[in-house]
Structure 1
Amino acid sequence: MAERGHGSWYFHCSATNLLGRRERVRRGGYRSQAAARRARDQWLAGTAADRTAAGWTVERWLRHWLDTRTKIRPTTRFHYTRDVDTVLIPRLGRYRLADLDAPLLRTAFAQIAATTNSKGRPQSASAMQHLRTTLRPALNLAVREGLIDCNPARHIEVSGYQQPHAKVWTDARVEQWVRTGDRPPVAVWTADQLAEFLGDVTDDSLFAFWWLTALRGLRRGEMCGLRLTDVNLDQGVLTIERNRTTAGYTIVEGDPKTPAGRRAVALDKRTVQVLRAHRRRQLDQKTAAAENGKAWTDTAYVFTRADGLPINPNYATTRFRKLVQRAGLPPVRLHDLRHGAASLAHQAGADLKTLQDLLGHSSIVITADTYTSVLPDVQRRCADATAHLVLAAARRTRRKIKKRAQKNRPTHRPKTGAPIPSAPGTASKPQARTAKREKKLPSGVAPTSHPRDTHHPHRADNKKGLTAISAGQTPHDLVRPKGLEPLTF
């Protein structure tokens, strides 16, 4: 430090941040004491939002965002936390919040898309879209707090991402799946395929679980959270009040997924019989456990294990996948039974509003665009009805044209002097009318032509185009409009 200009200056101070807490900051690298003081004064003169954006990293902000999200569902928090810890913080955590912009995020997302997931496969478009869905609300909060001017995550486009729609397992798709192993991300069975599956799993302890999911379209969490008090078999109705699902390896039970998920579901007679048989089997298991000295916990859940405890939602998923493989049917997920229930109900004649209430959707758009697939039988009926409509319209058009042509067809008139054929007993009437119409014209006046005979008017003379003028007429009278007679004084 003996030499002039050696070293640098720094400042150290504290101020209130966006959360109302005192935050210390230390900045250095200034060439003079005056420069360090100016930087300190400038930093203290800024707002709390500016100081937070300049001093906080993306990692710190994402942690703060997760801590303030207290009203989200546990499963949503689990997915947000997984994206933040495993991807977003390792890639973007070191940057300052004020330095984020669209080019930086596009570069980071391109690098993430070039990596592989935990299974060694390339990152899917769905996973990249989920990362964007996680980052965007975090930066939206930063915009609302005034830390940044705009959300750069809005300008990120994930290529190749499309909202999946359920595909029906037609014969052609089944043949392609057998040959290549390719399957749609979301697929539904036809009525015959579903009937074959239910016939193969009749003896399974969770047969009522598969039946109720496939025919009434309940969610997995709603099925696992169903209690005996929610089912009224005498009235043929059950109510959805709870949702039992998993967040990682943790079982979480709470309210339904959406407010519209709290609903009543009507049961048909066959479904009531299936649930009664399931209840009798459950009581037999309880009696057998007591006789054999095994533990039984009366939890009042509809679907339980052999010891009375409620089943794990992940067990239902695994069990269903094994049963599908054993039946030799084209693969579908457990959640795909919900899509299939909507499609089958639509085929049976249910309208979209009824399907929305059945599935517990908050918007009818979700029901129409995502959950309802058109089955082959419905397509054939629609095609036949459309063809019948078009062909019927074509026949009506041909009949109209034929009728109009017959009406406009000219009739052959008899020659002059020949008698006009008429029906018996009506010959005197046309002659009487003709007699009335024929009046004697004054001498010198040209006879007028018949109003219908416009092509060959009768003339007084044989010269074409000439009209005879009476003694009392002048040539001007022929061209003077009616009502404009000459005035006389």
Structure 2
Amino acid sequence: MKSHGVTAKRCGCLHPETNRPLGKACPKLSQPDHGSWYFHCSTRNLLGQVERVRRGGYASEEAARRARDELLALSREEQAGKSWTVTRWLRYWLANRKRIRPTTKMHYTRDIENFLIPHIGHLILGDLNPRQLNAAFAQIAKTRNRAEQLHTACTLQHIHATLRAALTGAYREGLIEDNPAARMELPPRERTGPQPWTEARIAEWKATGERPTVAVWTPAQLASFLDYVRDDTLYPLWWLLALLGLRRGEAAGLRWADVDLHEGQLSVVRQRTTAGYEVHEGPPKSKASRRELALDTYTMRVLRQHRMRQQERRARRLGTGMVCHNSGYVFTSPDGLPLHPGYLTQRLRLLVDRAGLPPIRLHDLRHGAALLAQSAGVDIKTIQQQLGHSNIRLTADTYTTVLPPAAREAADATATYLIAASKPGAEIKRQIELTRDTDHQEETAKNTPRQEPDNNRMKACRQRKIKQRRQATRRRTYRTAKPN
């Protein structure tokens, strides 16, 4: 094979006066055990552009030439895998992702710049292995976030998801032979279900400041909040979030064209999300999130009154010469423009604090809506469709918690059954009742006229079974009534 490129010997010796590398001028380079061999060659990257590749650390000139020739013999994709660093690939991959949402791209960028590049960015893409990745993630787990707390298993799982997606792209492009991120070992992510704000949890929160990761209000607490915000201009929004479990972006992006107050139907077809502070509007996050929700009579009345007040407010502003846009959104600011999703989070936090209720997040209203429907007897499939989950398993695993009243009724029923069964003589009474039932069935069978069977063998079989039942009943009664 015809070779291209240059091989050279280098060392790390420095000039005693200038403290700069001697390079080829080092007098010791002629010694066999001093320095190491490098090669330089030109290749074309994935974009077809010519770039220089420099590799070193070889023990002999022959080893450096052999490594150079092996690199040049590879395909363009394989050459990129052997020459590109992880940093270069991650940024190239992210820059060429066209079909991802702005929020997803923001999360990918955060994981790449803050975690992956600082810990594995210097490694060669084609040389990555699970041992290197496990060691890097162990180091990430020892670092702290902005709150000076160690990164949780949830954070590690998110970073791993970003890395795995990036390396899957490298595998599809032919840069690597397999995805080493798929063979990593990570600490399990603990999924905590919604926990109701019971009196004990409220007392602990007031005493220590500690609260459940995912907390929901009981129906009484939710009713108290809705009664407190009845005069708030966003009361219909809080009602929809608490009853239907809309996501924040779905409520912020709701338009009057998607609400049918005659048929009682609400269509979720868009959402307003944020990447940083910038707002992006587009379709819901998944196909299952595009859904039709039924509206009850009270909800329709609330929305009609809200639309009427919105029109009156717009007419007053226009009458006084103030600007008021007809944006078509259900929930708007006084000037008619749609609300920033972040404002809803801040507004809820303020109202909850003023109402004197235990704290919850805006997304916890969605969890509460699911548990409320479950307590009302709604089946899990209907709850899945209401929330817009793509998989019923996610709904079942997340919302298997029951609110305290339902759990208390189940506990009372179980305890009552156990107490009744443990009363003295209960087993003897049960056996006597069983014997009476058997005798009654036999007496009824005697008095009931039968048709004589044509087959004598069937008649004998029936008589033998009756005799066996009588003997079994006598034995049970004797064993039960016999004193110890």
TM-score interval w.r.t. the shorter chain? 0.7 to 0.9
- Aligned amino acid, residue 402 of structure 2: V
Deviation at 1:203, TM superposition (A): 1.2
Deviation at 1:170, TM superposition (A): 1.2
1:183 maps to which of 211, 214, 217: 211
**What number of residue pairs does the alignment pair up?**
409
- Aligned amino acid, residue 319 of structure 2: E
Tell me the residue number matched to 1:161: 189
- Aligned amino acid, residue 121 of structure 1: Q
Deviation at 1:186, TM superposition (A): 0.6
Distance 1:267 1:108, change over 3 A: same
Deviation at 1:148, TM superposition (A): 3.3
Deviates more, 1:349-358 or 1:363-372: 363-372
- Aligned amino acid, residue 150 of structure 2: P
Tell me the residue number matched to 1:263: 291
2:276 maps to which of 248, 254, 263: 248
Tell me the residue number matched to 1:401: 431
Distance 1:15 1:385, change over 3 A: same
Q: Distance in 2 between matches of 1:339 and 1:136?
A: 29
TM-score of the aligned structures, taking structure 2 as reference length = 0.78
Tell me the residue number matched to 1:414: none
* Match status 1:363 vs 2:363: no
Deviation at 1:352, TM superposition (A): 0.5
Q: Distance in 2 between matches of 1:373 and 1:230?
A: 32
Describe the SS at the equivalent of 1:244.
strand
Distance 1:122 1:32, change over 3 A: closer
Matches within 5 A, 1:45-60: 45-60=73-88
Tell me the residue number matched to 2:468: none
Q: Distance in 2 between matches of 1:407 and 1:269?
A: 53
Cα-Cα RMSD:
2.8
Deviation at 1:10, TM superposition (A): 5.0
Describe the SS at the equivalent of 1:261.
coil
Tell me the residue number matched to 1:413: none
Q: Distance in 2 between matches of 1:148 and 1:79?
A: 24
Deviation at 1:215, TM superposition (A): 0.6
Deviation at 1:112, TM superposition (A): 1.8
Distance 1:231 1:372, change over 3 A: farther
Matches within 5 A, 1:35-434: 36-159=64-187, 161-387=189-415, 399-403=429-433
Describe the SS at the equivalent of 2:42.
strand
Q: Distance in 2 between matches of 1:34 and 1:334?
A: 66
Q: Distance in 2 between matches of 1:249 and 1:19?
A: 34
Deviates more, 1:233-242 or 1:158-167: 158-167
In percent, how many aligned pairs have the same letter? 52
TM-score of the aligned structures, taking structure 1 as reference length = 0.77
Deviation at 1:317, TM superposition (A): 0.6
Q: Distance in 1 between matches of 2:65 and 2:186?
A: 46
Deviation at 1:344, TM superposition (A): 0.5
Deviation at 1:397, TM superposition (A): 6.3
1:339 and 1:372 in contact (8 A); partners too: no
Deviates more, 1:268-277 or 1:112-121: 112-121
Q: Distance in 1 between matches of 2:311 and 2:361?
A: 30
Distance 1:30 1:391, change over 3 A: closer
- Aligned amino acid, residue 389 of structure 2: H
1:342-375, Cα deviation, whole Å (9 max, x unpaired): 1011111100111111111111111111245310
Contiguous gaps of at least 5 residues in structure 2: 1-23, 440-484
Tell me the residue number matched to 1:435: none
Larger radius of gyration: 1
Distance 1:13 1:351, change over 3 A: same
Deviation at 1:141, TM superposition (A): 2.6
Describe the SS at the equivalent of 1:59.
helix
Tell me the residue number matched to 1:5: 30
Deviation at 1:36, TM superposition (A): 4.6
Describe the SS at the equivalent of 2:336.
coil
1:8 and 1:30 in contact (8 A); partners too: yes
Q: Distance in 2 between matches of 1:400 and 1:114?
A: 64
1:241 and 1:262 in contact (8 A); partners too: yes
Describe the SS at the equivalent of 2:134.
helix
- Aligned amino acid, residue 76 of structure 2: A
Deviates more, 1:333-342 or 1:114-123: 114-123
Distance 1:51 1:176, change over 3 A: same
